[in-house]
Structure formats: C-alpha cells, structure tokens
Amino acid sequence: MANEVVLLNFQPSPYATRVRIALAEKGVEYERKEEDVFNIKSELLLKMNPIHQKVPVLIHNQKPICESLIIVEYIDEVWNHHSPLLPSDLYQKAHARFWANFIDQKIFPIGSKLWTSPSDEAKKAAKELVENFKTLEQELGEKPYFGGDNFSFIDLALIAFSSFFHSFETLGNFSMEAECPKIVEWANRCLERESVSQSLFDKFQTHEAVLGIKKMLGLDS
Amino acid sequence: MANEVVLLNFQPSPYATRVRIALAEKGVEYERKEEDVFNIKSELLLKMNPIHQKVPVLIHNQKPICESLIIVEYIDEVWNHHSPLLPSDLYQKAHARFWANFIDQKIFPIGSKLWTSPSDEAKKAAKELVENFKTLEQELGEKPYFGGDNFSFIDLALIAFSSFFHSFETLGNFSMEAECPKIVEWANRCLERESVSQSLFDKFQTHEAVLGIKKMLGLDS
C-alpha cells in the first residue's frame, strides 16, 4: 500500500506541533498543507474535518484522522517499527493516556485565559496554571522524561505547549524556573531532540501572536 | 497472575456506568465499592485518584486506572479474548476514538447546563445539544450500532448518558423522538443488552437528582 501522508497544518498551533513531532520521531515523509485558520478555511479542511473544522488533520491514503492525541496514537500504531511513543505494557499505556489527558485539560485551556480573559480571571488562571505545572513536576520526579528514560507520549503531549511557556510567565507574572525548575530542565532536555526543536514554533513569534489576540479582544489595557 | 478487580463506583455517574457496561460486556467479576461523591470521599478514592479525586476508578491488582474512556480502553486491551470494543483496524480505531471524544465534549458538558445554568444559557445549551444529537444521528446513519453490526466503543460511550435523555428533553423542552428518532431507536436497541440495561441508572431517579441539583443552585424558578 502506498503511504500518502498529508498534514493540514497551522505552524503556530501547539496541537499541530504534536503531530509534526510524532511524524518526525517516526521519520515519516509527508506533505504539509498550510491552513489560514484565522481567515478562510480551505475546502479540503472543511471536507476532511467537517465536525470541528480545525487543524491538525492527518490525511493518510485519502482518509482523515482528527484530534491531535488521536492522531499521535494512530501514527504510533501505524508506524510501529521504531520509536514507540506509547508503552506496550497496558497499565503504563493507561497511565500515559491519563497524563496526556491531564495536560489537555489543565495546561492550554487554563494558560490561554491569560490572554483571553479579564484580569481578575486571568490572575486566578495564572495561579491555577502554576499549580498544574507543579502537579506535572511531581509526576516527572527525578526521571529524565515522563515515561522514564525515553522521550514518549506524555513528553510529546506537553512539549508542544512549550512555545507558550514564555507567554505564560510574562502574562501570568511568574517564573517557571522558580516554580517548577524540573519542568524547565525537562523542556530543555526535550529541545535537544531534532524532532522537537524543528517542530516547535518560535516562542517570541508565539508571544507576538498572543499579544495580538489579547489586543483584538480589548484586553490589552 | 490473580485478577483482583475493584471498581470505585457511584451508581448515578454516567462515567462509572461506562465502566460497569465494559466489565459486564467482558464478563469480568469485580468488587464494587460505593463512593459518596457529594459528601466525604473515601481515603481509598483520595489515594487511588489523588489528581481528580473522582469516580470511576478501576483498581486492577492494586493499581488504579482513572478516567472513564481510558479505563474502558484498558479493559478492552486486558480482557481481549472476546467482545472487542475497539476495532482492530487502526483507522477504524482512530474513528471510534474521535466520536467517543466528540461525545465527551458535546453531550454531558452541554446537556448538564440545562440544570446548572441560568435560563438564557440553558436555552442556548438545549439548542446546541439538539444539534449535537443530530450530528450523532448523521454519523449513525442506517447502521444498527455506531461501529456497524455490533455494539462497541462509541455505543458504550454514548449509551451511558441515556439515563439523562429524559432530563435533557424535559428541561430542554424538546423531543428526542422528533429531533433524532434514529438515536432513540439505537438507544432502545442498546437497552436490549443485559450489559447495558443492568448498568444504567434509572431515568426517573436520575431526573430527581437533576432537579435536586437545580434547586440547590437556586435555579428552580
């Protein structure tokens, strides 16, 4: 079977970043089609993800897969010859899914309130975000990666948001180095991987975009 | 290896219902420990799910697994000798996960606004909920079950909420029979299974509980 792989992508999206990292980890060749998510969505995107109309979408042999963690699991299962992302042990696999799910619920939805909510709500969100990073730091413990000695599913799920760490700190008025130094060390460790460093969107460009959204919402006072 | 299986359960919880259905489908013997989620949480629950402190928790040979769909996937993988819930085909598996995820995002979080939100927001939620059921009806199409001829993952993910359909209709002032007749037929079909009928919480007791919450929130005017 031919392996035709297309990614409907938006470079700044942390969710698309997850898929780019997974494809890079697996060494999968693919075609990237850039979507302009803030303006007109392509007919292809509307056809391939009619329900959510969002990137990322992975199109594998003409068939679409949507939702970043579902795509990453799919990639891991299809290209299973090397660089496993999920553990083969079933308990460890459930554990990895649990923490990826925690990250999905507790990092970006809370962190993005720093630039999409009025200041009292944003302040509350900053506090909650720090707590959530501390919870993650506790789960990481002394391990180099969340899953142990190797970069895997939980790392990938979280590192995609590291482009926003600078914005979290700046707008939330806290220091990750002070609050969760092991997470900072862990992020630097992940960044040494080409699959990660080449997939992440620049943190300063991210911050510019974030400030643009804040301004657009009339919250830049 | 001994298979010691304990479920930290709360009978009215649709999330716990999913796990009860999955265990029944697989014919797994287990001990049920009832939690009083509205009052004092047991030490066991706080120890086994310190992060979310919520039911359901499956404790398999002393090790906890949390989050209903993650538990169901775990059950499907561990007791894989019969009644597969997720398809073996990788694309179909991603497809099933996509729809279970849609259900998680779009049914209960929207539907529960009917008894937890002020009336203007509740009215908006009712409209959205009907749209979401119609989307599910379109995905179901003419198939007896979401995955095709057999009861599987998506069916299980959705049917657990059917105890609330009566409350959705009553408080949302719509008729599921009129809006999404195929979903009603599908639910009746699922209810013919002992695994489902014996796991679901009674719809009238559910409705009483729902009205109790509404009253507690001062929204019963």
* Structural domains present in chain B: 5-78 (3.40.30.10), 90-216 (1.20.1050.10)
Say if residue B1's pLDDT is above 80. Answer: no
Identity of the amino acid at A62: Q
Mean pLDDT of chain A: 96
Question: What is the average per-residue pLDDT within A193-201?
Answer: 97
Q: A212 Cβ partners below 8 Å, 6+ apart? A: none
Phi and psi based region of residue B148 (left: phi greater than 0; alpha: psi -120 to 50; beta: remaining): left
The Cα of A113 is separated from the nearest Cα of chain B by a number of Å equal to 19
Question: What is the average per-residue pLDDT within A187-194?
Answer: 98
Say if residue B82's pLDDT is above 80. Answer: yes
| C-alpha to C-alpha distance for A27 and B214, rounded to whole angstroms | 53
Say if residue A78's pLDDT is above 80. Answer: yes
A79 contacts in chain B (CB < 8 Å): none
| C-alpha to C-alpha distance for A184 and A196, rounded to whole angstroms | 15
Per-residue pLDDT, B7: 98
A78 contacts in chain B (CB < 8 Å): 90
Per-residue pLDDT, B218: 93
Question: Which stretches of chain A sit within 8 Å of chain B by CB?
Answer: 51, 60, 63, 65-67, 70-71, 73-74, 77-78, 90-91, 93-95, 97-98, 101-102, 135
Comparing CB atoms, the residue among B63, B70, B135 nearest residue A97 is B70
Mean pLDDT of chain B: 96
Q: Could you tell me whether strands A31-34 and A5-9 are parallel, antiparallel, or unpaired per DSSP bridges?
A: parallel
pLDDT band at A12 (very low <50, low <70, confident <90, very high): very high
Question: What is the average per-residue pLDDT within A119-145?
Answer: 98
Say if residue A2's pLDDT is above 80. Answer: no
The Cα of A205 is separated from the nearest Cα of chain B by a number of Å equal to 30
Question: Which stretches of chain B sit within 8 Å of chain A by CB?
Answer: 51, 60, 63, 65-67, 70-71, 73-74, 77-78, 90-91, 93-95, 97-98, 101-102, 135
Say if residue B2's pLDDT is above 80. Answer: no
Per-residue pLDDT, B221: 61
Say if residue A221's pLDDT is above 80. Answer: no
Per-residue pLDDT, A1: 55
* A174 touches A131 (CB < 8 A): no
Residues in a beta bridge with A9? A34
More confident residue, B10 or B39: B10
Which residue from A88, A91, A147 is spatially nearest to B60, judged by alpha carbons?
A91
More confident residue, A38 or A202: A202
**Is the bond preceding B12 in cis, omega lying within 30 degrees of 0?**
no
A15 contacts in chain B (CB < 8 Å): none
Size of interface A-B (CB pairs under 8 A): 52
CA A74 vs. chain centroid, Å, equals 16
Per-residue pLDDT, B95: 98
Q: A68 Cβ partners below 8 Å, 6+ apart? A: A15, A16, A18, A19, A56, A160
CA dihedral sign, ordered A186, A189, A191, A193: negative
Give the CA distances from residue B85 to residues A38, A214, B22, B145, in Å, rounded to whole numbers and listed in that order.
38, 44, 8, 12
Per-residue pLDDT, B87: 96
pLDDT band at B40 (very low <50, low <70, confident <90, very high): confident
Say which DSSP state A219 is in: -
Q: Which of these ranges, B29-38, B53-62, B96-105, has the smallest mean pLDDT?
A: B29-38
Q: Are residues A77 and B66, on separate chains, in Cβ contact within 8 Å?
A: no
- List, for residues B93-145, the tens digit of each pLDDT value: 999 999 999 999 999 999 999 999 999 999 999 999 999 999 999 999 999 99
Q: Are residues A98 and B135, on separate chains, in Cβ contact within 8 Å?
A: no
Note whether ipTM > 0.90 here. Answer: yes
Nearest chain B residue to A52, by CA: B102
Q: Are residues B71 and A94, on separate chains, in Cβ contact within 8 Å?
A: yes
Nearest chain B residue to A134, by CA: B51
- List, for residues A31-72, the tens digit of each pLDDT value: 999 998 878 899 999 999 999 999 999 999 999 999 999 999
B82: exposed, middle or buried (Cβ count in 10 Å: 0-12, 13-18, 19+): exposed
More confident residue, A220 or B176: B176
Q: Are residues B97 and A60, on separate chains, in Cβ contact within 8 Å?
A: no
Share of chain B above pLDDT 90, in %: 94
